Structure 1
Amino acid sequence: MQLHADRADVQMVTGYGPGWVAIDKKEHSGSVLLGASGFLRPWNCSNFASLTAQHFAELAELNAELIIFGSGDKLRFVHPSWLQALMQKRIGFETMDTHAACRTYNVLAAEGRNVIAALLLE
């Protein structure tokens, strides 16, 4: 049974493992920001401890409907004050481990949602 339409015109996560993610079958080993419309760039953070409020202010500038934050190999939450810029722009924000974030991003992207995945790869 098909739960959502398959769309060939969106960028998808096609695989993942410890320390890597494949986006449209191209492997990446560093943290990345990606959007369904083809937006893809490195995210300048190498581990959870290196994150700052500025990383999340950067996400607010992307003007997405929703940010899916993959916090690494386990679920970890950032300080709520770091999300202030996102809240001011009324951008939704969800935190989950990176593998769950990949799966969730794929579903939302396939639905045509304006979603950005911020994937921390340690």
Structure 2
Amino acid sequence: MDITPLVPQGRQVIESYGDMGFRVSGHRYEGSILVLPDQTLSWAVSSSDALTVESLESVAGRSEVELLLLGLGRKPVMITGDFRAALKERGVAVEPMDTGAASRTYNVLQAEGRLVAAALIAVE
């Protein structure tokens, strides 16, 4: 039985992660990525220590994104209240978790038609 979620045409689907990259909608990306509903972009953040509000400017404030999943590596990392508030001011709620959980959650929420994006730090 096929349990692949139905995703609207033109939407991004995270197919796999690991080996310092990702496979999204049939394309391989090396390094960290930003997955938006309609496109995937390289992201110059390689560790949670390098995470800044500015590094997420291409996601924040987009009308098609209400929730940003932060995949922060192998283990979830706490984010500060100030960081969360700065993104909320730009219209985006943020949920930090490990990269694997963020990848899986993105696919589920995308299939449900939610306005979601993911910022994913690559893992080995």
Q: Which category of TM-score, normalised to the shorter sequence, fits these structures?
A: 0.7 to 0.9
Q: Which has the higher mean CA deviation after the structures are superposed, 51-60 or 6-15?
A: 51-60
Q: In structure 2, list runs of 5 or more residues that go unmatched.
A: none
TM-score by length of 2: 0.82
Residue 4 of structure 1 and its aligned partner are, at CA, apart by: 8.9
- Aligned Cα root-mean-square deviation (Å): 2.4
Q: Which runs of 4+ in 1 moved over 6 A?
A: 1-4
Specify whether residues 5 and 40 from structure 1 end up closer, same or farther in structure 2 by C-alpha distance, changes over 3 A only. closer
Q: How many equivalent residue pairs? A: 121
The equivalent residue for 2:30 is 29
Aligned partners of 1:57 and 1:83 also within 8 Å: no
- In 1, the alpha carbon distance for the partners of 2:5 and 2:121 equals 27
- In 2, the alpha carbon distance for the partners of 1:90 and 1:62 equals 8
Paired residue secondary structure (2:45): coil
Could you give the per-residue CA deviations for residues 69-98 of structure 1, whole angstroms, max 9, x where no partner exists?
A: 101111112222122222224422111100
Specify whether residues 85 and 57 from structure 1 end up closer, same or farther in structure 2 by C-alpha distance, changes over 3 A only. farther
Paired residue secondary structure (2:85): helix
Q: Which has the higher mean CA deviation after the structures are superposed, 63-72 or 96-105?
A: 63-72
User: Percent identity, aligned pairs only?
Assistant: 32
Residue 47 of structure 1 and its aligned partner are, at CA, apart by: 1.5
Paired residue secondary structure (2:54): helix
